[in-house]
Structure 1
Amino acid sequence: MGGEKMLRIVMFPWLAFGHLIPYLHLSNKLAEKGHKITLLLPNKARLQLEPLNFHPSLITFHSITVPPLETLTLPPGTETTADISLNQHGELSISMDRTRPEVESILSTQKPDLVFYDMAHWIPDIASKLGIKSVSYNSVCAISMSHVRPSVLPKAAATSQVALSSSSYVGSVPQWSRNDHNSSVYFGDEITLLERSIISLSSADAIAIRTCREIEGVYCDRVAATFNKPVLVTSHALPDLELQLSPLETRWADWLARFGPRSVIFCCLGSQHVLDAAQLQELALGLEMTGLPFLMAVKPPVGYASLKELLPEGYNDRVSGRGVVHGGWVQQQQILAHPSLGCFVTHCGSSSMWEGLVSETQLVLLPQLPDQTLNAKLMADELKVGVKVERQQNGWVSKQGLCEAINRVMDEDSDISHVVRKNHAKYTSMLISPDFITGYIDNFIKDLQALIS
């Protein structure tokens, strides 16, 4: 560490595995350099993430209690977004906000150098009173963050350096940041998702983003200028696959081993957005149309206990031996690294974007939510590393549209396949270089040291 002070950091991410896991990945990178991390997370998540804590002597999991909301609709025992549907995330954010006294007690007791957070917009208020520097660490991509505009809030709210009362204003949410089509949907008690994001970014001492400047430098600069804050960059901070992640489950390793190199399609659309039955059926038929082996991992639609009951009649018989539709969690990064994997149909969530970029699979982009649409734009239009699935005017994705996008990247002789393969290989080579990640983490630590000096 070159004689630098050991950093003591508390982290409190949003209660979703798409946020918890990137925070833990960064914790591992910081712990490799000798820094101490306390990660605040619910009990069930703590148990599930323990295998990903590669430095338990330096990374402490501190359980927090997510208060139940008796008057609302959250199922008993809800702790993370994995326990609920997307339209219940606003209620979970109320529960998260009610952890404030417990989080304040932890910060007051530990008195760390820094506290990292994302959706808990009240953290800077606590931190400033305790003399702790606050860092808004964002696992979403910089292109999404660059669309946030403080000007949509009252001037006093947009420029405040401390967290504001969540009930002090209510504004509209632009199309890109809506979690459904209703701009009045709240993400907490009388606060929208956009407002929560703006307060979180405006109130921090610094903004940190899981990205790299070679890919999103212009958007990092835009965020810095918009919020007049230092923007610190961590790289993708993904763990080394061979050295640190657990092996692929035998059932998937054995199944994939049955097929030739780069021949299997893997379709995984994340856990936040759940497809309706008709759209899921259509995508399953699209994968069948390719004639290639495939693994589709998606959550069952609301109202269905399993995927078997909604697949078209005769479907399982027709794809037997080459196609699997699975309704549970899978080890995405390990599957993408398998030599039989040839194509990744992804929803373009930020974690999936980075995992796709560091893999050797061809990328077919099927975003479901607004921030994912921006990520897909970055990948298809700017980086030119993948092909977007065309949607019909009403947003519907046809089986022909999915099949055509897959064929375009899998046909090595097509012009578009040649372009995306060449560009993807260039970025993969850069992103998996050990010196690349190490350099970013070293600079990130120097920036944190400067912040507290």
Structure 2
Amino acid sequence: MFPWFAVGHITPYLHLSNELAKRGHKISFFLPRKALILLENLNLHPNLITFHPLTVPSVATLPPGTETASDIPFSDSPFLAAAMDLTRPQLEVSLQAMRPDFIFYDLAHWIPQVARPLGIRTVCYNVVSAAAIAIVLVPAREVTQGKPCTEEELEKPPRGYPSKTVVLRGSEARSLIFISLPSGDNITFHGRGTTAMRECDAIALRTCQEIERDFCAYISSQYGKAVFLTGPVLPEPDMKMLDEKWAEWLGQFKPGSVVFCAFGSQHVLEKGQFQELLLGFETTGLPFLVALRPPIGTNSVEEAFPKGFEERVRGRGVVHGGWVQQPLILSHPSVGCFVNHCGFGSMWESLLGDCQIVMVPHLPDQILHTRLLADELKVGVEVEREESGWFSKESFCRAIESVMDEESEVGLLVKKNHAKWRKVLVSPNFMTDYIDRFIQNLQELQMKN
């Protein structure tokens, strides 16, 4: 396993490793030292999953000690990609010694060059949605360094793209400009992603046919090769107890009344937008728990509070600037709404939970995940944004009220649809069958000449 150096990529690779190890397979997992310290407790089969910490070389354009995407703003990701590429000699030495049957990777486009001479099969395993892959990383959208896409080109989905609703709208398409920018030395993000999928033996996606069938078929047709699906690959329910602090606080409120908000480990709001969000929560009049990183330019969430906010919401609202046990909080009976950025992990947690879903996406893949849930599956609501991309406290409050009001037509519709999809996803053997089929796909691939 050699995922992109971001916690949001490494974690699903580890969840898949746990599923493979549960069935007796042996895994060597390459990751930065810093990520190992964060995630080693998620290794459920240390007798079969061995971590191999990598030394991430220094790159002049990155702050000293940078190892993962959580250490830097999104705009610095191309420099982290350059650092990842510099770990190639470490991988080459290890692969020559290990000679595994397969190597899984996503953005390290050079892996097939290293693996092929050693007889190692390569699987490009993407942990974002098939929709995001389909709209961004298609060979037909040729983008090379020195020839960036125009805004007009970016606003149009690629030819044959299978959806009119799961799209980027208007100014949102500008966020795709990153695909034509350098991502490491002498390669663009688009070049990195398309090369990774073009050169591999098989493409794998962390999704299921029931949700993204048409997108998977489109990707298969674009690259002319098999697409293997793992299903959502979510961990077994954590049997650890919720921290007493949160259990006690949530226990004050009636079932389904609390709104919980979290935007992942990477997303950091600007101070003004952070304040607008908190004022939106205050306006709802509902109890809320917000777990967000301190906004840009601040050292704590408290120093960014709107004037008088803390006093006005005391007793019904908490804003926490650190890590929380998200799955356990979402499963608490008092929590009735999950406000999230719709990263792919949060998207699946939303679908598998009982809470109403409100989405505030930031990155292009998150926007596409949101459209999939809000416009195609109709299981949640997206917060409306202004042309600038910002949302107001009024639009934020309106989105929450639309799903939390028991008389709301929208709330009843998304709740009904959500229950229907959740029933499919939690049906007996749904997840297990996907993993078993995936392993069968790998075994058949291995037998080919």
Q: Give the TM-score of the pair, scaled to structure 2.
A: 0.91
> What is residue 316 of structure 2 aligned with on the other side?
322
Asked if the contact 1:170–1:192 (Cα under 8 Å) also holds between the matched residues in 2, the reply is no
Matches within 5 A, 1:246-325: 246-325=240-319
Query: SS at the partner of 1:448?
Result: helix
Q: Is the 8 A contact 1:152 1:171 kept in 2?
A: no
1:273-422 matches, cutoff 5 A: 273-422=267-416
Question: Aligned equivalents of 2:372 and 2:91: distance in 1?
Answer: 36
Once the two structures are TM-superposed, the CA of residue 170 in structure 1 deviates from its matched residue by 5.1
Distance in structure 2 (CA, Å) of the matches to 1:224 and 1:404:
40
- Is the Cα–Cα contact under 8 Å of residues 290 and 407 in structure 1 kept in the other structure? yes
Supply the AA of the counterpart residue of 1:17: V
Q: Which of 77, 91, 95 is the matching residue for 2:65?
A: 77
* 8 A Cα contact 2:337 2:404, kept in partner: yes
Q: Unaligned stretches of 5+ in structure 2?
A: 156-167
Q: Aligned AA for 2:214?
A: V
Matched with 1:93 is 81
Q: In the superposition, relative to structure 1, how do residues 187 and 301 fare at CA in structure 2: closer, same or farther (>3 Å)?
A: farther
Secondary structure at 2:140 match in 1: helix
Q: Distance in 2 between matches of 1:188 and 1:245?
A: 41
CA distance in structure 1 between the aligned counterparts of 2:131 and 2:178, rounded to whole angstroms: 23
In structure 2, what is the equivalent of residue 165 of structure 1?
none
- 2:285, 2:298 → 1: CA distance? 27
User: CA 1:171–1:233 in 2, change beyond 3 Å: closer, same or farther?
Assistant: farther
Question: What is the count of residue pairs matched by the alignment?
Answer: 426
The structure 2 residue matched to 1:42, chosen from 28, 32, 42, is 32
Q: State yes or no: 1:172 paired with 2:148.
A: yes
Contact 1:178/1:370, CA 8 A, preserved across alignment: no
- The match for 1:230 is 226
How far the C-alpha of 1:255 sits from its partner, in A, is 1.6
- Alignment of 1:215 with 2:211, yes or no, is yes
Counterpart residue identity of residue 40, structure 1: F
Shift of 1:182: 6.2
The TM-score with structure 1 as length reference comes to 0.90
Q: 1:428 & 1:182 partners in 2: Cα distance?
A: 34
Relative to 1, partners in 2 of residues 1:316 and 1:68: Cα closer, same or farther, differing over 3 Å? Answer: same
Q: Return closer, same or farther for 1:28/1:266 CA change in 2, 3 Å cut-off.
A: same
1:447 to 423, 441, 447: 441
| Uncovered stretches (5+) of structure 1, i.e. residues with no partner | 1-10, 155-167
Q: Deviations over 1:134-162 (max 9, x none)?
A: 000011000111112212338xxxxxxxx
Distance of 2:357 and 2:267 partners within structure 1: 19
Q: Deviations over 1:428-449 (max 9, x none)?
A: 1221234001110110000000
1:104 CA drift (Å) = 1.1
Output the CA distance in 2 between the equivalents of 1:188 and 1:251.
Answer: 44
Q: Which amino acid aligns with 1:214?
A: E
Q: Please give the alpha-carbon distance, in whole angstroms, between the structure 1 residues aligned to 2:118 and 2:147.
A: 30
Q: What letter corresponds to residue 98 of structure 1 in structure 2? A: L
Q: What corresponds to 2:141 in structure 1? A: 152
Paired with 2:239 and 2:54, the residues of 1 have a C-alpha distance of 26
Query: Aligned-residue CA RMSD in angstroms?
Result: 1.7
From 41, 44, 68, the equivalent of 1:51 is 41
1:63-101 deviations in whole A, cap 9, x for unaligned?
A: 1111112x22x2222111122222221111111000000
2:8 partner amino acid: G
CA–CA distance in structure 2, aligned partners of residues 179 and 447 of structure 1: 35
**What one-letter code is carried by the residue in structure 2 that aligns with 1:227?**
Y
Q: Deviations over 1:204-227 (max 9, x none)?
A: 110100011000111111110111
- Cα displacement (A) at 1:180: 7.4
Alignment correspondent of 1:27: 17
Amino acid of the structure 2 residue aligned with 1:35:
H
Task: Supply the distance in 2 between the matched residues of 1:301 and 1:185 (Cα, whole angstroms).
Answer: 26
Change beyond 3 A, Cα 1:323–1:329: same
CA pair 184-201 structure 1, distance change in 2 beyond 3 A: closer
The one-letter amino acid paired with 1:87 is: S
Identity percentage of aligned residues:
51
Contact 2:7 2:70 in 1 (8 A): yes
Q: In the superposition, relative to structure 1, how do residues 245 and 26 fare at CA in structure 2: closer, same or farther (>3 Å)?
A: farther
SS in 2 for 1:287: helix
Q: Is the 8 A contact 1:344 1:356 kept in 2?
A: yes
Preserved CA contact (<8 Å) 2:145 2:180: no
Change (3 A) 1:342 1:350: same
Offset at residue 43 of structure 1 (A): 1.4
> 1:106 maps to which residue?
94
Give the structure 2 partner of residue 62 of structure 1: 52
Matching of residue 187 in structure 1 with residue 177 in structure 2: no
Alignment correspondent of 1:240: 236
